[in-house]
Amino acid sequence: EAGVAQSPRYKIIEKRQSVAFWCNPISGHATLYWYQQILGQGPKLLIQFQNNGVVDDSQLPKDRFSAERLKGVDSTLKIQPAKLEDSAVYLCASSSLMGAPGPFGPGTRLTVL
Amino acid sequence: RKEVEQDPGPFNVPEGATVAFNCTYSNSASQSFFWYRQDCRKEPKLLMSVYSSGNEDGRFTAQLNRASQYISLLIRDSKLSDSATYLCAGSGDSNYQLIWGAGTKLIIKP
């Protein structure tokens, strides 16, 4: 079974630039998560989709972050404009309905200069 | 106060020893708990769910203590490959929402 795919794996941008990340979850998984993980911290949920609806986006900085899940499958996460404190690993995970998050994708390591 | 707290470690443990670490949670309404393993510069991987009755998977045992609001992970006969950061996660106000600890780093030494 193919795992959760994410791209790009690494991204370096300057502050105030825009960036987008892509995630392709496990086929058939209804739930998709985007997490932000800063070095030395646990993952922080940014947004959780169930099919193509949003279940939880309470910690998403909506003034600069946006996310969508196309047709309940792939998802993109965008940051516009980026700030220095957005430097982190952005992890995508999927799960069956009501399952624990997982598997996770390999993540996108974002550096904002 | 953080909702889910873990001792960051590192726990330095000789190979073959038994090691245990706890994770405390503040939300008494939390229903679901999980342990994840995260290797350096890798993604988290689900290790095991934590049930009220406890859960054992080979050398790993997870326990839930609702009275004292903590979960524990016990690793017996530790292997070098067990070296990783162990993250705990608990459900928040709804089972949809997981709150994560910052992780406990475990180093198994030969």
User: Beta-carbon neighbour count of residue A13 at 10 Å?
Assistant: 17
Query: Would you call B87 and A42 a contact, using CB atoms and an 8 Å cutoff?
Result: yes
Predicted confidence (pLDDT) at residue B31 exceeds the cutoff of 90: no
Per-residue pLDDT band for A96 (boundaries 50, 70, 90) equals confident
- Chain B residues inside the 8 Å CB shell of A104: 43-45
| pLDDT mean over A43-71 | 93
Contact A15, A82 (CB under 8 A): yes
Look at residue B79 in the predicted model and tell me its pLDDT: 98
CA nearest to B88 within chain A: A42
Q: What's the CA gap between B63 and B73, in Å, rounded? A: 7
Of A40, A55, A106, which is closest to B96 when you measure between CB atoms?
A55
No. of H helices and E strands in chain B?
Answer: 0, 11
| pLDDT mean over A93-104 | 87
Query: Would you call B46 and A42 a contact, using CB atoms and an 8 Å cutoff?
Result: no
Q: What's the CA gap between A4 and A93, in Å, rounded? A: 7
Query: Would you call A102 and B45 a contact, using CB atoms and an 8 Å cutoff?
Result: yes
Look at residue A110 in the predicted model and tell me its pLDDT: 98
| pLDDT mean over A54-60 | 92
Look at residue B45 in the predicted model and tell me its pLDDT: 96
Q: What's the CA gap between B24 and B61, in Å, rounded? A: 17
Predicted confidence (pLDDT) at residue B1 exceeds the cutoff of 80: no
Query: Would you call A106 and B42 a contact, using CB atoms and an 8 Å cutoff?
Result: yes
Average pLDDT over all residues of chain A? 94
Closest CA to B52 of B30, B74, B37: B30
Question: What distance in Å separates residue B9's CA from the closest CA in chain A?
Answer: 11
Q: Chain A interface, mutation test: which of B32, B43, B86, most A Cβ atoms within 10 Å?
A: B43
- CA A29 to chain CA centroid, Å, is 15
Alpha-helix runs per DSSP H in chain A = none
| pLDDT mean over A89-95 | 96
- CA B19 to chain CA centroid, Å, is 12
Query: Would you call B98 and A107 a contact, using CB atoms and an 8 Å cutoff?
Result: no
Query: Would you call B98 and A91 a contact, using CB atoms and an 8 Å cutoff?
Result: no
Helix, strand, coil % in chain B, rounded to nearest 5? 5, 55, 45
- Token pair in block for residue A57: 């986006």
Question: What distance in Å separates residue B22's CA from the closest CA in chain A?
Answer: 15
The predicted-structure confidence for B35-69, as pLDDT tens digits, reads as follows: 999 999 999 999 999 988 889 999 999 999 999 99
Contact B10, B105 (CB under 8 A): yes
- Chain B residues inside the 8 Å CB shell of A57: none
Of A48, A56, A107, which is closest to B43 when you measure between CB atoms?
A107
Q: What's the CA gap between A74 and A91, in Å, rounded? A: 14
